[in-house]
Amino acid sequence: MNRLLAFIVAAGLVFGAGCNKSTDSSSSAGSPGGKKLSIALMPKSKGNAYFISCKAGADEAAKELGVELLFDGPTDPDPAKQNEIVDNWIALGVDAIAVACENKEGISTALRKARQKGIKVLTYDSDATPDAREFFVNQATPEGIGYTLMDEAARLTGEEGDFAVITASLTAANMNEWRKYIEARLAEKYPKMKLVTVRPCDDLKDKAQSETTALLSAYPNVKLVMAICSPAVPGAAEAVKQAGKAGTVKVIGLGLPSENRRYVKDGVTQSVILWKTVDLGYLTVQATTALAKGELKPGATEFKAGRLGAMEIKGDNILLGKPFIFNKENIDQFDF
């Protein structure tokens, strides 16, 4: 059945090539049919700076590969609107779709429908249900995040001294996963460092500030505060600044450059860790194109993604690799 479907789709692609897609004669790197592949990319919302920088990478990859890139999404994060756009793309007959899903269940039905029509489906940034897509471009694994945070903390403190962690809540599954890897790395590589306390901030900047203020006076030997939820990074930085300890107590964390720029420039926060959104967009379009061309198949363990080189595939997750560290030197190049 699947094979039949694939045949029909392939035939449809070949025969339909001339009529419903823009044909750009300058493209030679397109699909075997000689026509330009059309790849549709959807952000959670169009105006979001995070996704705008994803798009910059996506455009770069599309240009390199000579594919036509459609970029559309809701103006505000809206699962219903995402479905509508997927339906439009199905009607338009695009070759492949890549979506950052606002709502896992919400979009999966529409994506399954697209797959039934033979459109290749991939997710990036945030996943759909696994049966609704072929691959998920995973921007960061818990291991990558945990290890990078711990290594950066060690680098900034000269691999010794006390540090504290601010988390969103002691029960948040993803953060506990990160903490597991932070602590594993700590035990394995940095015997002279000590995690003295873990404080929850309920994912609120103000609470993170209060918690940091208290812990700085309660644990005077703390040399670094590691904030592992995004509102906690500026919250912790403000507390360190108000305590007059900017520079002597380092602040690092997982967050957006835009929310931390001020503190990074003032030397309060040393490092903000995230992934390169441009690379995420680039990899997504590379993978989506390869999928549409049939070069990337389920079961693959590696994928060559243009300038990024060989990317690891774990199961059906294409890994973007190690997170990126934003600091004083480079933070101005990023505006999300």
Partner 1 sequence: MLKRHFREWSVAFALVLLLAILAVAAPAFYQGQPLLSLMAREAPTLVVACGMALVIIGRQIDISVGSQFAICSVCAGLLAAMKWPLALALPAAIAVGAVMGTVNGALVAGLRLPSIVVTLATMVTWREGLRWLRQGEFVNLPDNAQWFGFGQAAGQWTLIFAAVVLFILMVMGMRHLSAGRFVHAVGSDAEAARLAGIRPQFVTFATFVLIGALTGLAAGMNVVQSPQVDPKSGTGLELKTIAAVVVGGVAISGGRGSLWGVFAGLLLLACVSPALTHLHVQAYWEKAIQGAIILLAVVADGLRSKTIKHN
**Shortest distance, position 126 Cβ to partner 1, whole Å:** 14
198 or 251: CB nearest partner 1 = 198
**Shortest distance, position 254 Cβ to partner 1, whole Å:** 15
**Shortest distance, position 200 Cβ to partner 1, whole Å:** 5
14 or 204: CB nearest partner 1 = 204
14 or 172: CB nearest partner 1 = 172
**Shortest distance, position 253 Cβ to partner 1, whole Å:** 14
- How far apart, in Å, do the first and last CA atoms of the chain sit? 45
Tokens of 90: 């199905």
118 or 255: CB nearest partner 1 = 255
What single DSSP character describes residue 44? Answer: S
**Shortest distance, position 12 Cβ to partner 1, whole Å:** 39
20 or 169: CB nearest partner 1 = 169
What are the backbone dihedrals phi and psi of residue 74, each rounded to the nearest 5 degrees, phi first?
-65, 155
CB 136 within 8 A of CB 123: yes
Query: How many CB atoms neighbour CB 16 within 10 A?
Result: 14
CB 101 within 8 A of CB 128: yes
Tokens of 123: 């997710």
38 or 45: CB nearest partner 1 = 45
Let me know if 328 is exposed, middle or buried by CB neighbors in 10 A (0-12, 13-18, 19+): middle
Cα–Cα separations (whole angstroms), residue 125 to 148, 187, 202, 210, 335 = 19, 30, 23, 31, 18
**Shortest distance, position 90 Cβ to partner 1, whole Å:** 27
Distance CA 301, CA 318 (A): 9
125 or 134: CB nearest partner 1 = 125
Kindly list the residues in this chain that would bind partner 1 in the complex (CB under 8 A). 45, 48, 76-77, 170, 197-200, 202-206, 209-211, 213-218, 220, 231, 234-235, 238-239, 242-244, 258-259, 262
Query: How many residues are there in the chain?
Result: 336
CB 156 within 8 A of CB 224: yes
**Shortest distance, position 218 Cβ to partner 1, whole Å:** 4
The angle that helices 104-116 and 79-92 make with each other, rounded to 10 degrees, is 10
